[in-house]
Amino acid sequence: MHSDGQDDTPRHDPRPPGTRLLLAALTSGDPDARIRFADVFAGLGERAFGMLLFVATLPAFIPIPGVGGAVSGPLVMLIGLQLLAGRRAPWLPRFIADRGPHRSAMKRFEQRLAPWLTRLERLVKPRMSYLLNHRVAGMFSGLLLLLLGLLLALPIPFTNYVFGALLLLFALALLERDGALMCVAWSLGAAAVAVFGVLSGTLAAVAAEWIGRLG
């Protein structure tokens, strides 16, 4: 017992702002202005890949065949390559970093996802962080994102929403530092690659085409 009356109870750092609050901060302001990709992950530290992936997935939900995947796919592949290479923070070439969605489009995306995010945030929380911090785990996430991004970029009918939803799981796991959710994302992502990629022969055909060009 201390005579100075100070409380020696251990204090824990407050939980960082959740995904909904981060999205709300991004969408506040002039609706006609663009949200630059470079500004999306500024100051987020280890959560930067999650927010960049979240925003990069937005075009996948554009209901125009061949448009959303052609934009989101390469962005997701770029994120996957950087995780596969073991980068601790994302990098974007200037011609991509200076671009981004209009704030009004991001606002509509936020409003559409708000009910689901409200439910998910009751379940999602920082846990099993060693899965997110381990180099091999990061490489595995990067590999799956690379393959999912490739599949998303290909003209496979009626799959944009499926891949988009899977990518949002990866993004949420990275943003909320939830290793348990990442395990779910890994399982579903690997299953999607097997069903839509390996079994359909899509990835094999693309790989054979690339090898043929190299030859």
- Rounded CA separation 22/81 (Å): 25
Mean pLDDT for the chain?
78
Whether the predicted pLDDT of 67 surpasses 60: yes
Nearest to 193 by CA among 155, 142, 149: 149
pTM for this one? Answer: 0.75
Whether the predicted pLDDT of 62 surpasses 80: no
> pLDDT for 169-190, tens place per residue?
999 899 888 899 999 999 999 9
82 or 199: which leads in pLDDT: 82
- Rounded CA separation 118/21 (Å): 11
> pLDDT for 13-60, tens place per residue?
455 656 667 777 777 777 777 878 777 766 667 778 888 898 888 888
Percent of the chain residues topping a pLDDT of 70 = 77
